[in-house]
Amino acid sequence: MGRSRRTLPEELLLLALDPATGTTAQPQSLDLGLAGAQLVELALAGRIAPDGDRIAVVVPRPTGDPTLDCALELLRRRGAPVRAVHWIGGPRLGLRQTYLSHLERCGMVHAVAGQMCGVLPTTRYQATDNEISREIRARLDSAIRTGVPPDPRTAALAALAHAVGLGKHLYPGNEGRSSRSRLRDLIRHDPMGGLVAHAVMDVQNGVAAQPRRSPAPSGRPAAGARPAPEPARGVPMQPRHGSMARAVAH
């Protein structure tokens, strides 16, 4: 994969970057979205493919993008298809910062040092070329306005933007309600983007990552089965195995 086009994680991050404040909207869910965007980008590159609700590596050859290739290698080491919700729900150690630093190296953003309350050091990121962000936004606007099925890349970007809650950031207020609704509807135009977007939302909603057991006869629980705890609303699901995918930090 050359650098002739931006990757989906880069585009999703640029969409989330607020030009006025230099901060990212929906920072917690954005980390999940970036992990999901990596999966979609690898699928578009022909390296992975959906297998039901799982992700299988079909071509382990590197893409040429170091961050994506690290994710691909982690998936390859799994040795078997991994559930999308498990991968996305894994710990994300600095994935957003990894991509912000990457965009800075590429010259798409520049860091602005500051202080919070005059004491704590902070870093904001300003786009160096707002035309890039406008072009990305224009693709979404066109798909929403025209109703014409978008290309898979734009459809996946729309699905991820909806999944991480960027709708209110991109189309705020009552006047943006119909646009937010159409943004959500674009999820159906790309199967891989839809799979990943639903996995992102499942993790945020605390949906159990393990397949549900069939109920025992007469409504009794199966022998040895423990009642599943009710997930807390809005708390991301943590992976059950320590070998789950790690955050891509390089």
Distance CA 154, CA 136 (A): 9
Residue-wise pLDDT tens digits, 182-207: 999 998 888 999 999 999 999 999 87
Residue-wise pLDDT tens digits, 44-72: 999 999 999 999 999 999 999 999 999 99
Distances (CA, A) of 214 to 58, 83, 222, 225: 31, 19, 9, 11
Q: What is the pTM (predicted TM-score) of this model?
A: 0.77
Residue-wise pLDDT tens digits, 10-31: 999 999 998 778 888 888 899 9
Closest CA to 192 of 86, 88, 64, 37: 37
